[in-house]
Structure formats: C-alpha cells, structure tokens
Amino acid sequence: MESQTTTLPLKQLVFRAELRSPLPERKLSLGAFHFCPSATSALPLSSALLSRFGVPGTLKMFGRLLTPSREFICVAAGGRLATYAVVNVGFCRRYAVEPGAILLCNGWTDPQYRGRGLMEGMLARAINHLIARGSRIFYMDTRENNTAMRIVIERFGFGPPVSTIEPYD
Ligand SMILES: CC(C)(COP(=O)(O)OP(=O)(O)OC[C@H]1O[C@@H](n2cnc3c(N)ncnc32)[C@H](O)[C@@H]1OP(=O)(O)O)[C@@H](O)C(=O)NCCC(=O)NCCS
C-alpha cells in the first residue's frame, strides 16, 4: 500500500510584548528611516511608494493613512523602498488587541537587501518612536517558519507566542 504523507499547514504565531525601555537601534546599512503617521507625511515618499505598489496600491496606502489607526514606516534608499511595514493603532482584523495597542504588520524587505538587518533596524526605530509617544503594548505575528522575523521578534523581547491564528498571505 502506498504511504501518504500529509503536510500540516504552517501556523501564524501571534506575539505580544509590553515595552517601556527603548530598544537598541542597529545602524542602518543603507537609506533613511521614515515614520509616516499620516498621508501628508508620506507624500515625499510618493515615487518610492509608486515603484513598489503601483498606482492602485499607492492610492490604497494613502487611503489607509487618512485614518488615524494606520501609519507607515520604511527605510527608503535611492528613491525606492528598501524595507517597510504598516503600523495599526488599536486594531487588528484577525485577533483582538487592547485599545491603543500597536500591531506591526505587512513587513517586507527588498530581496536584494535582505539579511542586512534592515527590518530589525527599522522596527526598533519605529518601536522607540512609539514608546516615546506613549505606546506600551506591541503585537507582531508571523508564520512559524519565518526565521528572520522570529529572530527579530525574540531580540525585541517578545516572549513565546500568545496565540495561533489561521495562516494568511
Ligand atoms: C522577513 C523579512 C521582512 C526580513 O527582512 P530583513 O530585512 O532581511 O530582516 P533582517 O535582516 O533585519 O533580519 C534579522 C535577522 O534575521 C536574519 N535573517 C534574515 N533572513 C534570514 C533567513 N532567511 N534565514 C535565517 N536568518 C535570516 C538576519 O541575518 C538578521 O540576523 P543577524 O542580525 O544575526 O544577521 C524579509 O525576508 C521579507 O521581506 N520576506 C518576505 C515577506 C515576509 O515574510 N514578511 C514578513 C511577514 S510577518
């Protein structure tokens, strides 16, 4: 009889941390960090956003940034996005978070710059900015086999996952 192997779907792990002290900010190997709390503050990055998201995606991003619950962070270099993520303030579509809690999500680094600490450097700067602004509770989630994100999450002092959700793209 032919043996069958079933592959279990990889889990999406949810991490939560209360952070009060600033994190070490590793030197950015390229580019400059930007924290965009609003559509207006992201306007100077328009061409970098367009080169990554195209017109529909850029308009969608600006639309998101019109709400106070969405912010955008990136490292931009040479007019392009080297790495970026979205900051959700007090909400998550997939699991409950406390009012005012921060969810750092949709992280991406340009493949040519991966493994150089850009995601870690960007997220540390964003978290430190948010701590200075009064945020204390932070959430991140990632696929269980995402080694890079799990290294970063652990370095930032997030403990073991607090829950598991259905994986998503
Ligand atoms: C996951 C991702 C955002 C990481 O970005 P990055 O800028 O390469 O991350 P960093 O360089 O800051 O990585 C942090 C650490 O993980 C290490 N690392 C990066 N990629 C790795 C890999 N594939 N395997 C093992 N370690 C890895 C880095 O070397 C670094 O460790 P070091 O400081 O000891 O050298 C990037 O690979 C990516 O965009 N992937 C596709 C989208 C994705 O998975 N997004 C995350 C959704 S939660």
The residue contributing the CA closest to ligand 1 atom 22 is: 148
Q: Ligand 1 centre and the CA of 124: distance in Å?
A: 14
d(CA 3, CA 73): 48
d(CA 6, CA 72): 39
SS (H, E, C) 118-157: HHHHHHHHHHHHHHHCCCCEEEEEEECCCHHHHHHHHHCC
| CATH of the domain spanning 12-158 | 3.40.630.30
Per-residue pLDDT of the chain (169 residues; tens, 9 = 90+): 555 677 778 999 999 999 999 999 999 999 999 999 999 999 999 999 999 999 999 999 999 999 999 999 999 999 999 999 999 999 999 999 999 999 999 999 999 999 999 999 999 999 999 999 999 999 999 999 999 999 999 999 999 999 999 888 7
Q: What are phi and psi of 164, to 5 degrees?
A: -130, 135
Domain ranges of the chain: 12-158
Q: Is the CB of 151 under 6 A from ligand 1?
A: yes
